C-alpha cells in the first residue's frame, strides 16, 4: 500500500485476510505508511467507511473474506452505483456451512453481479502488480469503478515468495 499511496484503510479482520490488515495497521502505527487506518466494528462498517472516504476523494483500500464479504454485500452494490474507485483484496474462502475456512470461490461468485471489476491472481507477483494497477484502473475517468483483487485463501495469503517491486513511476 506504500507504493499505492493509499489515504484510508478501513478493515475488520477475518481469516485468512487478518494478517494483511494487521500488517497495514502496523505500518501506519510505525509511521511507514502515511494513511489513516480505521479499525471498524464489522465488515459492513468497513465498506460503509470506504464509500464515505472514497466519496470524499481519498484513495481507499480494504480487505475481507467469506462471511465478512457477505456481511458487507449490501454496501458493495453502492460503491459501483456511485462510481467510487475503492480497491478491495478478497482472500477467497468458502462461505460457512456450518463452518469452513478452506479455499473456494463462493465469495468471488457472490460479488459477480455487484458491479465491481474482479481480478484473479495466480501468485504473489500478480497480487502485488494487480493491486497497484487496480487503483489506476478504478480511478481512470473512463472507468470509475471499484476493483476486487481475488487471492486464493491460504494457498496465496499465507505463502511467502519473492516478488519484483515495480518502480513507482
| Domain boundaries, given as residue ranges, for the chain | 8-152
Helices (H) and strands (E) in the chain, counts: 6, 6
Reduced to 3 states (helix: H, G, I; strand: E, B; else coil), residue 54 is helix
- Helix ranges (H only) for the chain are 18-29, 43-55, 66-76, 78-81, 106-110, 124-139
**Whole-prediction pTM:** 0.94
92-133 pLDDT, tens digit per residue, is 988 877 777 778 888 889 999 999 999 999 999 999 999 999
φ, ψ of residue 82 in degrees (nearest 5): -95, 5
30-62 pLDDT, tens digit per residue, is 999 999 999 999 999 999 999 999 999 999 999
CATH of segment(s) 8-152:
3.40.50.970
Residue 65 near residue 95, CB atoms below 8 Å: no
Amino acid at each position: 500500500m506504500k507504493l499505492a499511496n493509499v489515504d484510508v484503510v478501513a478493515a475488520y479482520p477475518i481469516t485468512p485476510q487478518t494478517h494483511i490488515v494487521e500488517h497495514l495497521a502496523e505500518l501506519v502505527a510505525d509511521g511507514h505508511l502515511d494513511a489513516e487506518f480505521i479499525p471498524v466494528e464489522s465488515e459492513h462498517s468497513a465498506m460503509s467507511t470506504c464509500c464515505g472516504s472514497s466519496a470524499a476523494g481519498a484513495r481507499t483500500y480494504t480487505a475481507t473474506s467469506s462471511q465478512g464479504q457477505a456481511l458487507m454485500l449490501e454496501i458493495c452494490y453502492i460503491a459501483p452505483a456511485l462510481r467510487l474507485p475503492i480497491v478491495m483484496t478478497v482472500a477467497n474462502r468458502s462461505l460457512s456451512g456450518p463452518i469452513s475456512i478452506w479455499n473456494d470461490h463462493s465469495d468471488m461468485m457472490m460479488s459477480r453481479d455487484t458491479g465491481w471489476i474482479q481480478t484473479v491472481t495466480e501468485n504473489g507477483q500478480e497480487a502485488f502488480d494487480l493491486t497497484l494497477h487496480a487503483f489506476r484502473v478504478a480511478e481512470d475517468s473512463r472507468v470509475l469503478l471499484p476493483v476486487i483483487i481475488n487471492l486464493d485463501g491460504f494457498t496465496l495469503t499465507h505463502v511467502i515468495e519473492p516478488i519484483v517491486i515495480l518502480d513507482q513511476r
